[in-house]
């Protein structure tokens, strides 16, 4: 015979078991979904689930992944309680995955969610999050194109004086009079850098003058692709000026692809060849002061220009003239007076007007408690 106290004990154990089982069931992550991450190249899947209630005792989540008919495997670290999203960036394109979110309780018990439906990572052609940026870019481009057409129609466009560029003729003339070469350094930038492209257009203008004066122009390059473009640019300038015979391809050469080896090599050239004029135009890094200081020590006239803002102070300190940031981009229009470049410059100025207007209006609106400009900028970013 079972006594009353034993019955009570059995009932208590049963109740406890049922309540524990029930509480574990309720702790299982709910509404677990796995979707292809939008606006990516198909290399990730996003897993989401609902936040568990605070009293469920969940201490963290572990994500489990299964590839097609393979085994379940744990991925990533144990996620802290309160996490509701995980991005699996370690997938292989084309494979189909399913996921389980495993909740771990403070007593180290685990409860698994339902397995998600199969999902595959696919890349998108258009990043919808960048629509606003795309529209702004179209507006900027339209302004520049409109100004280029305006300039081509014969409208005169004013360009303010840029002292560093007015010194270009002086530097070339000095080198010619002294019978020494001109050293043109394009910096470390690859062909993709805007500063390198701007530098090459300035080089084209410098090469036109050196072709006329028959002054040797030496260009050590750090990038083989830049080297090829530079050779084309200089050769074209010499041909345009009617001095193709004066063009010497060996004066434009590859030195090395390593930053400080390049600096050491260019420094060596400076002290041995003693060029009368040195152009440091393009994208520079820590070697800027090494180059500019050596150029200064040999008494060369130095014209520098870069958009690397951290290197500008060194050029300002050690060079005779420095093109600051966008002055480097404006140099082409300034030197060539080509309607296309002039129109582009004017278009960029309109872009700056737009930015100024946005700042002034944005500040006024923010003070008034209206924040749609910052919201718009947030979307663009």
Per CB under 8 A, which of residues 252..281 are in contact with another protein? 255-258, 260-262, 264-265, 267-268, 271-272
Q: What CA–CA distance (Å, rounded) separates 50 from 65? A: 18
- β-strands 45-48, 58-67: how paired? unpaired
The residues in 220-239 that bind another protein, with binding defined as CB under 8 A, are 224-225, 228-229, 231-232
Q: Is the dihedral of CA 164, 168, 174, 179 positive or negative?
A: positive
Q: Which is nearer to another protein, 215 or 306 (CB)?
A: 306
Tell me which residue has tokens 């084209």. 204
- Smallest distance, Å, CB 281 to another protein? 17
Q: What angle do CA 61, 67, 72 make, to 5 degrees?
A: 45
Among 3, 160, 179, 245, indicate the residue that binds another protein (CB under 8 A). 160
Q: How many residues at the interface with another protein, by CB under 8 A?
A: 71
- Smallest distance, Å, CB 58 to another protein? 35
User: Does the protein bind another protein through residue 285 (CB under 8 A)?
Assistant: no
Token representation of residue 37: 């991450």
Q: Which is nearer to another protein, 78 or 191 (CB)?
A: 191
Token representation of residue 180: 């020494």
- Smallest distance, Å, CB 256 to another protein? 5
- Smallest distance, Å, CB 176 to another protein? 25
- Smallest distance, Å, CB 324 to another protein? 7
The residues in 350-369 that bind another protein, with binding defined as CB under 8 A, are 352, 355-356, 358-360, 362-363, 366-367
In the beta sheet, which residues pair with residue 254?
221
Of 189, 209, 24, 40, nearest to 108 by C-alpha is 24
DSSP one-letter code for 74 = E
E-assigned strand segments in 246-374: 252-254, 277-283, 301-306, 321-324
DSSP one-letter code for 104 = E
The residues in 301-340 that bind another protein, with binding defined as CB under 8 A, are 309-310, 312-314, 316-317, 324-327, 330, 333-334
């Amino acid at each position: 015979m079972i006594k009353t106290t034993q019955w009570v004990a059995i009932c208590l154990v049963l109740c406890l078991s049922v309540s524990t089982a029930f509480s574990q069931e309720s702790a299982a992550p709910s509404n677990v979904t796995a979707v292809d991450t939008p606006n990516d190249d198909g290399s990730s899947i996003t897993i989401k689930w609902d936040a568990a209630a605070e009293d469920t005792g969940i201490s963290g989540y572990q994500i489990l992944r299964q590839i097609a008919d393979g085994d379940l495997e744990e991925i990533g670290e144990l996620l802290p309680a309160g996490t509701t999203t995980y991005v699996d960036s370690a997938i292989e394109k084309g494979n189909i995955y399913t996921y389980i979110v495993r909740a771990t309780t403070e007593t180290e018990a685990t409860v698994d969610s339902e397995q998600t439906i199969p999902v595959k990572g696919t890349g998108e052609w258009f990043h919808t999050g960048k629509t606003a940026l795309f529209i702004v870019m179209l507006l900027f481009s339209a302004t520049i194109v409109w100004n280029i057409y305006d300039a081509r129609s014969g409208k005169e466009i004013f360009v303010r004086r840029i002292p560093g560029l007015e010194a270009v003729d002086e530097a070339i003339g000095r080198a010619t009079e002294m019978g020494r070469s001109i050293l043109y350094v394009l910096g470390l930038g690859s062909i993709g850098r805007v500063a390198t492209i701007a530098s090459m257009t300035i080089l084209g203008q410098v090469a036109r003058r050196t072709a006329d004066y028959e002054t040797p122009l030496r260009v050590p390059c750090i990038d083989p692709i830049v080297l090829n473009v530079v050779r084309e640019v200089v050769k074209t300038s010499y041909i345009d000026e009617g001095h193709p015979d004066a063009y010497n391809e060996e004066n434009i050469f590859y030195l090395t692809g390593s930053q400080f080896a390049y600096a050491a090599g260019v420094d060596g050239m400076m002290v041995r060849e003693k060029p009368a004029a040195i152009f440091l135009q393009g994208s520079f890094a820590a070697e800027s002061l090494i180059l500019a200081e050596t150029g200064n020590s040999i008494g060369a006239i130095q014209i520098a220009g870069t958009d690397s803002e951290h290197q500008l102070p060194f050029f300002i300190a050690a060079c005779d003239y420095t093109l600051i940031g966008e002055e480097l981009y404006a140099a082409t229009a300034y030197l060539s007076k080509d309607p296309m470049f002039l129109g582009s410059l004017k278009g960029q100025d309109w872009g700056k007007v737009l930015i100024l207007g946005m700042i002034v209006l944005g500040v006024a609106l923010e003070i008034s408690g209206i924040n749609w400009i910052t919201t718009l900028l947030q979307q663009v970013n």
